Amino acid sequence: MKQFGIFVFTCIILLSGCVFAGAQEAVYHKISVAEAKKMMSELEDFIFIDVRPESAYNKAHISGAVSIPSSQTKDRIQAEFPDRNKVIFMYCETGGRAMVVARQLVRLGYVNVYNTGSFSRWSKEMKNDAK
């Protein structure tokens, strides 16, 4: 009987290891401006966030972006966009703040989070499109 108990215990451990081995940690996606623009053109419902300070947004921002400064994202995203499956694109001045916010949103359970990098990359891409 003792051997049967050990056998059952071993099977449970092995099976639980198989289940957890398939589980992956949720991650955000780092994508290029070109990839973001393509995805945005194909999607009907998404949010595009400028996580820079409000003053930077007021000076200049990418068309279609809404200002949700990184200091406010946790509270505002949860309140304004409770759907954890919502596709969220974001950018900041250099890409660093967007990375921090993207990680934060993934920890909150959002599964479609895309860091598109920096404002300067967007600006450069827009100038290239205009040529």
> How far, in Å, CA of 88 to CA of 28, rounded?
10
Q: What is the CATH number of the domain that holds 97?
A: 3.40.250.10
Any domain includes 17: no
**CB atoms near residue 35 (< 10 Å):** 14
The boundaries of the domain holding residue 99 are: 25-130
Any domain includes 16: no
Any domain includes 78: yes
Any domain includes 46: yes
**CB atoms near residue 38 (< 10 Å):** 12
Any domain includes 1: no
> How far, in Å, CA of 113 to CA of 103, rounded?
9
Model pTM? 0.77
Determine contact, residues 88/47, Cβ cutoff 8 Å. Answer: yes
Any domain includes 10: no
91: exposed, middle or buried (C-beta count within 10 Å: 0-12, 13-18, 19+)?
buried
The count of domains in the chain is: 1
> How far, in Å, CA of 45 to CA of 62, rounded?
18
Any domain includes 59: yes
Give me the tens of pLDDT residue by residue for the chain, a chain 131 residues long.
555 555 444 444 444 444 444 444 668 999 999 999 999 999 999 999 999 999 999 999 999 999 999 999 889 999 999 999 999 999 999 989 999 999 999 999 999 999 999 998 888 877 766 44
> How far, in Å, CA of 80 to CA of 111, rounded?
16
